[in-house]
Structure 1
């Protein structure tokens, strides 16, 4: 069995349920055991630094790749820090707003969401005769400590999460922002079209390589765990990739192996299966 020296973990849908910040007890125990065995464990997530920090109180990590590779931290040292340029930031925020797409900007200090998104969900709930959408959004904002856009102080932005009432609106905005790629995610449960900007200067895979270079580990001696499309660059960069059982079909097909789902002790069982425990 290969002796993997570095472990990379996506958060939403892998270490935790999507939108949550409390991993299963079994996953925390597995991480602690792997570190006792001398392995280095890193988060590798699309979340900004502020939104991943609650996880740092749940288990000891050796660092993290945040904002899908835009920020790489090993120990207490910034290895890579690449927010949008002011021009990119102004362009994408304006294009999304002009096309009626709601925005959540992610910075090192926090995540800030357009206030109008709640009003939109409230109106959709009235139309549907329920309060499900607004309750769902308020729960996510509370768990992830998201703040209203009015509190945004202009600090550098690493990525923008987009929530659009229709695919056509989002596609118009995307066409105006050719300097970015966009990762699309249809939210069929809540009848929304979601996406996130993807900066072409980095991705989760480049973050894996930067961490490995910083700690003197060959990427071939790393293993990663993920569940979705934005994990594919991480899958390609690491020596071995594992998709969660709850992951999407594309991620499962791209991974070297598939483990149990996040709510069925998937990480803990996979850590044992791949010899990562002490």
Structure 2
């Protein structure tokens, strides 16, 4: 059965962590498989407006799975599925993170806002390419317009147990980016795999015809849901276990190498 859909995480998969944009080799390979008829979806923990066009270069996805599956869009930006946090979930996070002065942000439909310790997030983002994507939300009033899709934060791994002792009944999940203190914070319902199901239904594609590529804990379920799950080398232990195989890391343009292996016909023009 030919693969008809390719889903790609951004950070650590398409784009090396310390680079501002997706390397040209990855961009051109993704565009080549699209021209060959393969649909492409970006599957990321970022909200849609937290992904600058310049970051992806000339990649123009057919679908978006954003906010770790809570925001699913087509190429035109039309929502196919959305899932928001409840006010109780959001307020619990704010109370806890403020008590310990941990950094906390939320993904909204117009971009990410940092509610607690914005200066820390600004310093970290500035050190990773010089562009700060998150907005200063320390007035803590953005949610009065609409609720966020998901949250992201920085805290010691062991602090999660303290949160769950007090707020475990909310079912929030903390998915860390490896050994770093950064994490996505998701509701019980949201997951990239659910976003994949939405796209497969809309496009009439069997999940067995999907290749999913990722590197982090929030990629595990989409890697197992796809017909072929691929974790980039150096990915999280959980993602490596969930995947069917690996590909070279982002710094070596592993996505481009994978595309050439799985869809060689998309690159036949290079032989002439």
TM-score category (smaller protein)? 0.7 to 0.9
In the alignment, the residues of structure 2 paired with residue 53 and residue 238 of structure 1 have an alpha-carbon distance, to the nearest angstrom, of 27
Match of residue 229 from structure 2: 241
2:154 alignment partner in structure 1: 163
Note the alpha carbon deviations across 1:176-234, whole angstroms, 9 max, x for none. Answer: 3321121134655xxxx333212111201111111111111111111110011110011
Aligned partner of 1:153 in structure 2 is 142
Residue matched to 1:40 = 39
Superposition deviation, residue 23 in structure 1: 0.7
User: Which of residues 137, 150, 162 is equivalent to 1:172?
Assistant: 162
Partner-residue secondary structure (3-state), 2:84? coil
> Which secondary structure does the structure 1 equivalent of 2:106 belong to?
strand
* Counterpart position of 1:275: 263
Task: Report the number of matched residues.
Answer: 259
Q: Which residue of the partner structure matches residue 82 of structure 2?
A: 81
For residues 115 and 82 of structure 1, the distance between their equivalents in structure 2, rounded to whole angstroms, comes to 23
- Cα distance between partner residues in 2 of 1:247 and 1:115: 28
| Alpha-carbon contact 1:184-1:195 (below 8 Å) kept | yes
- Give the TM-score taking structure 1 as reference length: 0.84
Alignment of 1:186-197 (within 5 A): 187=179, 193-197=181-185
**Cα distance, 1:66–1:205 mapped onto 2, change above 3 Å:** same
Cα distance in 1 for partners of 2:264, 2:99 equals 49
Please give the alpha-carbon distance, in whole angstroms, between the structure 1 residues aligned to 2:265 and 2:105.
Answer: 38
Aligned to 2:194: 206
Give the C-alpha shift of residue 143 in structure 1: 2.8
Aligned partners of 2:265, 2:26: CA distance in 1, in Å?
11
TM-score, normalised relative to structure 2: 0.86
**RMSD of aligned Cα (Å):** 2.4
Check if 1:264 corresponds to 2:252: yes
Q: Runs of 5+ in structure 2 lacking a partner?
A: 267-272
Paired residue secondary structure (2:101): coil
The answer to whether the Cα contact below 8 Å between 2:105 and 2:114 also exists between their aligned partners in 1 is yes
1:219 aligned to 2:220? Answer: no
CA distance in structure 2 between the partners assigned to 1:92 and 1:157 by the alignment? 12
Instruction: Map residues 44-123 of structure 1 onto 2, 5 A cutoff.
Output: 44-54=43-53, 55=55, 58-76=58-76, 77-114=78-115, 116=117, 118=119
Q: For 1:60, what is the secondary structure of its paired residue?
A: coil
Does the aligned pair in 1 maintain the 2:126–2:132 contact within 8 Å?
no
Compared CA separation, residues 141 and 115, structure 1 to 2 (3 A): farther
Q: Structure 1 regions of 5+ residues with no counterpart?
A: 122-132
Distance 1:104 1:65 in 2: 19
| Aligned residue number for residue 126 of structure 1 | none
For residues 3-40 of structure 1, the C-alpha deviation after alignment (integer angstroms, 9 at most, x for no partner) is: 10011000110011236551111111111111111110
Aligned to 2:173: 181
